[in-house]
Chains A and B, each alone.
Chain A
Amino acid sequence: MNNTLNKKTPAELVKNFVSDNKVILMFVVLSIVCILISGANVSYVAGEVFSRFGRNTCLVLALIIPCMAGLGMNFGIVVGAIAAQISIFWIVHWGFVGVPGFLLCVAMSTPLALLFGWLTGMLFNKTKGSEMVAGLVLGFFAAGLYRLFTLYIMGGVIPYDDPNLLDRGFGLRNAFDLTGNLKYSVDDITFLTTASVLGVVYLLYTLVVYLHGKKFGEGVDTKKFVMQLIAGAVVVVFGIVGKMIPFVATKLGKNRVILADAVMLLAVGLLVYAVVLFIKNRPAKGTPAFNKVLKFAVLAVILFVTNMIPGVNKVYRSVRLPAMTFAVIAFFAAFNDWLVNTRLGQNMRTVGQNRSVATSAGIDVDKTRIIATCISTVLAAWGQLIFLQNLGTFNTVQQQDNVGLYSVAAILVGGANVQKATNKQAVIGVILFHTLFVVAPLAATELVGDSAISEYIRMFFSYGVIAVSLAMHASKKGGKKAKAA
């Protein structure tokens, strides 16, 4: 209400920044220390982190919606992962491969995950206040049932004649190989194909919005619609024509994009966006719109310059990115954002903040919580599919076990807490957590001189991360309370 109260000196700003981001800062410092101790090759670390980023981020993004609805960290995403794995057994068994195989896995895992999510949601409604513990135990319980399913029911009860079956006639082999069927089915989609696909999706979307708007008489902007059609068509055409231009085809037509090229592309994209914004709005100097244009331009230049530095460029050149996987991650994040701005999202936020207020405002609390859990479980199932197609082979009986643990640890490292988690925190968290995940065992090996220690380090590290960030969050909250009193 009083603006003069909010003005702070630079020292206070720095202090606030540090105290608001102390969890992230702690892990940044820890990462740097570990990298220095381990003496690891930066190219190697960057490559590992980016590949883990593509693999894990979708799973982590599945945690955001239940957190918003006040369910805390949903350790129950393990059941989503189980839904994904069950669907893989059948789709692979039926002989589907590549992109169609992957899409069929999505189609089959979704109803399964919805069912599991619904059951999980009902459990959470019975255990209000201790959803995290309930989710954790549910994960163990579901994993037990799943073991029974994979080791006995597959082949033992349900006929399943497959080379993955054990010789005794029932039970699956310990490792389930995806090579030649689902491995890299999404990762291998080229940038140009991705662009075409996204372009077509965008065209369809604008068309439906236009027709929908016309049908319900909400008033349609025909000029905007034409511009959107042109923009979509340009992307589609670029995707198709690009394959015929040798330069573009070698850069973007392969199954991975070199990070250096991606950085350049991003820089050019930002620059074009900044110019378009400038021409479209012609903002006066000093206005927020002008600053926005300036920000994008400066960012583009920074990206461009870093790519010119030989050392950095060498790192950039060593990292290869899967285009479609990153597009899926962007879709997950966009979905979370979109949901917040719907009536349902608002209800979830209300329920998350105060259930009795929500009830008195006429919101069906239990139903809202079940929907949030279902969405999370479905996203987790899809996330696990992305994870497994990248991994290429998985441990049939216990692949899902650490899904909840690692995902929760990652988002907490990103500064999230059990009450609030955002896309940004998920992305930062995945990067930081997996950097540490890669370098901490290396550093430990360097210090102790024993490479076998790395697995223990990881386990200790994941649980430790959760404990530490929960404690730090609690101390942050406690501090605020003390101030208020």
Chain B
Amino acid sequence: MENKYVLKMEGITKEYFGNKVLKGVDLKVRPGEIHALMGENGAGKSTLMNILFGMPVIHSTGGFGGTIEFNGEPVNIENPHKAMQLGIGMVHQEFMLIPGFTVAENVKLGREISKATIASSVFGKSLERLDKPAMAEDTRVALNTIGLGVEDYAMVAGMPVGYMQFVEIAREIDKTGIKLMIFDEPTAVLTESEADRLLDTMRVIASKGIAIIFITHRINEVIEVTDSMTVLRDGTFVDRLETKDTTAARIAELMIGRQVEKLVDDMEEDNRKISDEDIMLELKNFYVDMPGEKVKGIDLKLRRGEILGIGGLAGQGKVGIPNGILGLYPASGEIHFDGESIDPTKLGDALHKGIAFVSEDRRGVGLLLKESIEQNITFTATQIQGKFLKHFGPFTQVDYKATKKHAQDMIKALDIRCTGPEQYSGRLSGGNQQKVCLARAITMDPKLLIVSEPTRGIDIGAKKLVLELLAKMNREQGMTIIMVSSELNELRSLCDRIAIVSDGKLTGIFAPDASDAEYGLAMSGVTEGGNA
């Protein structure tokens, strides 16, 4: 009995539009076991869980390959309803709760207890009257099981986030015949003590014979609570380990372990003078309130002439840093830039003082999709610095000749593949759009260039071109660059130093050739420090 699996997924493959995201993944979970599913962003964890839960997104994109056995029998999970019937429950990352409902109503959502009425015997079950006392009763039982001290009639709106998480769990527990629960990064939004409570609750649930799949980035939690784990990397199955046979460093290595290929190879000449004395940008106690990417107090120094990488997992705050500096989201703290101080609450202040920003949201913030390439390349410089303008007394007109000339130069210099400067930027491929964004930033002659996720959503070849371009600007024009990216490999191939951000705080600054384990631990927020 001991080794019989409640869930056995074998050889799972999945393609999204020709892009293989899962390449033969196995996942086996025993009853009453807490099993961690580990991997970086994009390793395929969510896709695997979506397959298990029968989400419509899987079946509307051509289904998947491989077999699923649940409770020893092969099953075909074609929709979430079927998954629920089998006894698979999911505690979602973003809460599936109705704030305006009471705890009991939320726990019983879609599974209300009701009594037959005259109308229901004529018009069907949907007109049955709700049996609120019975619903409250069941809810109390579920709440007691996980030890949550709230009333069943309390409104969910206004509860602390941690409580909401527990209400979600109570809902899953309340479902009869639940055999497997999926926790999708449940501790990401919790405070430390709440997270501890959650881990305790998971042990209680597991002790009742319910298996748990625990998705998390926090290695220390995995060590603390799980029995076994499966590690994924780039959609491939890496290993299945028993927790007691392994260490945190080993897990981190398995998660990251990839060959760092030098994307930028012609770096033979390095005449730059970088010194710890010559600081270009300094952040002190810097906070940014960007939803999903909160920065919670960062001190960081940027040396003139270097390329600084900022890495970390999604949602940990690395993207918040440039957005905060540019004043796109509410920010506080001190920013010292080249002898001046920048007021992050004033939109455009950073732009005026010579910082150019290439946003991670290329199509949303970065480009005017329905405008021409030349417009896109020049409009920031025109707006902020008054370039490309003809003056007629108090009136100004855009100098279209100069604009076109400049755009043509840029198209040539950056090798933007297009039909001409008049083409709409929305019609370009991702890589060429990114080049237009970079061209716009260069047009401003910035002292500092910040690029955020410069290679997101563009193909390998274009990636290489963009990175080479960044290196060239740094080497040849001496431009200081901050590069924010989720792809650690990219950062390691290009940057002089890499700062890792976890949970809104800096967990270390490393040299590009630091070990995988060091990076892995810093990304999961385990260590403080660094050596570069």
| A179 within 8 A of partner (CB) | no
| A130 within 8 A of partner (CB) | no
Using A347-B126, A362-B81, A362-B84 as known contacts, say yes or no to A218 and B100 having CB atoms under 8 A apart: no
Chain B residues positioned under 8 Å from A218 (CB to CB): 115-116
Chain B residues positioned under 8 Å from A205 (CB to CB): 118
The 4 closest A-B pairs by CB, nearest first: A361-B110, A344-B126, A361-B109, A353-B98
Using A346-B130, A347-B126, A362-B84 as known contacts, say yes or no to A353 and B99 having CB atoms under 8 A apart: yes
Chain A residues positioned under 8 Å from B128 (CB to CB): 342-343
| Contacts A/B (CB < 8 Å), 19 sampled | A1-B150, A1-B159, A212-B121, A343-B127, A344-B127, A345-B130, A346-B112, A347-B126, A349-B98, A349-B100, A350-B101, A350-B110, A353-B98, A353-B100, A357-B96, A357-B109, A360-B92, A361-B109, A361-B111
Chain A residues positioned under 8 Å from B118 (CB to CB): 205, 208-209, 212
Q: Is the CB of B130 within 8 A of A343?
A: yes
| B97 within 8 A of partner (CB) | yes
Q: Is the CB of A343 within 8 A of B112?
A: yes
Chain B residues positioned under 8 Å from A208 (CB to CB): 118
A337-380 interface code vs B (CB 8 A; 1 in, 0 out): 00001111111011001101110111100000000000000000
Roughly how many angstroms separate A225 CA and B176 CA in the complex, as a whole number? Answer: 36
Residue in A closest to B85 when the chains form the complex, CB atoms: A362
Residue in A closest to B56 when the chains form the complex, CB atoms: A359
Q: Is the CB of B127 within 8 A of A342?
A: yes
| B129 within 8 A of partner (CB) | yes
- The count of residues in chain A whose C-beta lies closer than 8 Å to any C-beta of chain B is 25
| B374 within 8 A of partner (CB) | no
| B105 within 8 A of partner (CB) | yes
| A216 within 8 A of partner (CB) | yes
Chain B residues positioned under 8 Å from A356 (CB to CB): 96
Chain B residues positioned under 8 Å from A346 (CB to CB): 105, 112, 130
Residue in B closest to A354 when the chains form the complex, CB atoms: B98
> How close is A83's CB to chain B, nearest CB, in angstroms?
21
B408-431 interface code vs A (CB 8 A; 1 in, 0 out): 000000000000000000000000
Roughly how many angstroms separate A48 CA and B105 CA in the complex, as a whole number? Answer: 43
Task: State which residues 190-219 of A face B: CB under 8 Å.
Answer: 205, 208-209, 212, 216, 218
> How close is B293's CB to chain A, nearest CB, in angstroms?
16
Chain B residues positioned under 8 Å from A349 (CB to CB): 98, 100-101
Residue in B closest to A371 when the chains form the complex, CB atoms: B126
Most A C-beta atoms less than 10 A away, residue of B96, B125, B149: B96
Most B C-beta atoms less than 10 A away, residue of A344, A356, A363: A344
Roughly how many angstroms separate A343 CA and B117 CA in the complex, as a whole number? Answer: 11
Q: Is the CB of A341 within 8 A of B110?
A: no
Roughly how many angstroms separate A308 CA and B492 CA in the complex, as a whole number? Answer: 90
Using A360-B96, A361-B96, A362-B84 as known contacts, say yes or no to A341 and B130 having CB atoms under 8 A apart: yes
Interface of A with B (CB < 8 Å)? 1, 205, 208-209, 212, 216, 218, 341-347, 349-350, 353-354, 356-358, 360-363
Chain A residues positioned under 8 Å from B150 (CB to CB): 1
Q: Is the CB of A350 within 8 A of B126?
A: no
Chain B residues positioned under 8 Å from A363 (CB to CB): 110
Q: Is the CB of A343 within 8 A of B97?
A: no
Chain A residues positioned under 8 Å from B96 (CB to CB): 356-357, 360-361
Roughly how many angstroms separate A32 CA and B129 CA in the complex, as a whole number? Answer: 43
Most B C-beta atoms less than 10 A away, residue of A218, A343, A354: A343
Residue in B closest to A368 when the chains form the complex, CB atoms: B126
> How close is B416's CB to chain A, nearest CB, in angstroms?
37
Chain A residues positioned under 8 Å from B99 (CB to CB): 353
> How close is A58's CB to chain B, nearest CB, in angstroms?
20
Using A1-B150, A209-B118, A354-B98 as known contacts, say yes or no to A342 and B130 having CB atoms under 8 A apart: yes
Chain A residues positioned under 8 Å from B115 (CB to CB): 218
Residue in B closest to A347 when the chains form the complex, CB atoms: B126
Chain A residues positioned under 8 Å from B92 (CB to CB): 360
Using A350-B98, A357-B96 as known contacts, say yes or no to A362 and B114 having CB atoms under 8 A apart: no
> How close is B156's CB to chain A, nearest CB, in angstroms?
10
| B80 within 8 A of partner (CB) | yes
> How close is B164's CB to chain A, nearest CB, in angstroms?
12
Roughly how many angstroms separate A26 CA and B100 CA in the complex, as a whole number? Answer: 27
Residue in A closest to B92 when the chains form the complex, CB atoms: A360
Residue in B closest to A342 when the chains form the complex, CB atoms: B127
Roughly how many angstroms separate A42 CA and B130 CA in the complex, as a whole number? Answer: 45
Roughly how many angstroms separate A162 CA and B105 CA in the complex, as a whole number? Answer: 56
| B154 within 8 A of partner (CB) | yes
Chain A residues positioned under 8 Å from B130 (CB to CB): 341-343, 345-346
Chain A residues positioned under 8 Å from B81 (CB to CB): 362
Task: State which residues 101-142 of B face A: CB under 8 Å.
Answer: 101, 105, 109-112, 114-121, 125-130
Q: Given A1-B149, A341-B129, output 19 extra A-B contacts at Cβ < 8 Å.
A: A1-B150, A1-B151, A205-B118, A342-B114, A342-B126, A342-B129, A343-B114, A346-B105, A346-B130, A347-B126, A349-B101, A350-B110, A353-B101, A357-B96, A360-B80, A360-B92, A361-B96, A362-B81, A362-B110
> How close is B92's CB to chain A, nearest CB, in angstroms?
8
> How close is A349's CB to chain B, nearest CB, in angstroms?
7
Residue in B closest to A364 when the chains form the complex, CB atoms: B126
Chain B residues positioned under 8 Å from A344 (CB to CB): 126-127
Using A342-B126, A350-B98, A354-B98 as known contacts, say yes or no to A216 and B116 having CB atoms under 8 A apart: yes
Chain A residues positioned under 8 Å from B114 (CB to CB): 342-343
B153-178 interface code vs A (CB 8 A; 1 in, 0 out): 01000010000000000000000000
Residue in A closest to B121 when the chains form the complex, CB atoms: A212
Residue in B closest to A353 when the chains form the complex, CB atoms: B98
Chain A residues positioned under 8 Å from B121 (CB to CB): 212
Chain A residues positioned under 8 Å from B159 (CB to CB): 1
> How close is B59's CB to chain A, nearest CB, in angstroms?
15
Roughly how many angstroms separate A334 CA and B129 CA in the complex, as a whole number? Answer: 14
Chain A residues positioned under 8 Å from B98 (CB to CB): 349-350, 353-354, 357
Using A208-B118, A362-B81 as known contacts, say yes or no to A343 and B109 having CB atoms under 8 A apart: no
> How close is B202's CB to chain A, nearest CB, in angstroms?
22
Chain A residues positioned under 8 Å from B80 (CB to CB): 360, 362
Most B C-beta atoms less than 10 A away, residue of A1, A341, A357: A357
> How close is A54's CB to chain B, nearest CB, in angstroms?
27
Roughly how many angstroms separate A349 CA and B116 CA in the complex, as a whole number? Answer: 20
Residue in B closest to A345 when the chains form the complex, CB atoms: B130
Chain A residues positioned under 8 Å from B149 (CB to CB): 1
Roughly how many angstroms separate A1 CA and B154 CA in the complex, as a whole number? Answer: 8
Chain A residues positioned under 8 Å from B129 (CB to CB): 341-342
Chain A residues positioned under 8 Å from B109 (CB to CB): 350, 357, 361
B377-410 interface code vs A (CB 8 A; 1 in, 0 out): 0000000000000000000000000000000000
Roughly how many angstroms separate A218 CA and B111 CA in the complex, as a whole number? Answer: 21
Roughly how many angstroms separate A342 CA and B98 CA in the complex, as a whole number? Answer: 18
Roughly how many angstroms separate A346 CA and B111 CA in the complex, as a whole number? Answer: 10
Chain B residues positioned under 8 Å from A216 (CB to CB): 116
> How close is A132's CB to chain B, nearest CB, in angstroms?
20
Chain B residues positioned under 8 Å from A354 (CB to CB): 98
Chain B residues positioned under 8 Å from A342 (CB to CB): 114, 117, 119-120, 126-130
Chain B residues positioned under 8 Å from A345 (CB to CB): 130
Q: Is the CB of A343 within 8 A of B100?
A: no
Roughly how many angstroms separate A362 CA and B82 CA in the complex, as a whole number? Answer: 10
> How close is B112's CB to chain A, nearest CB, in angstroms?
5
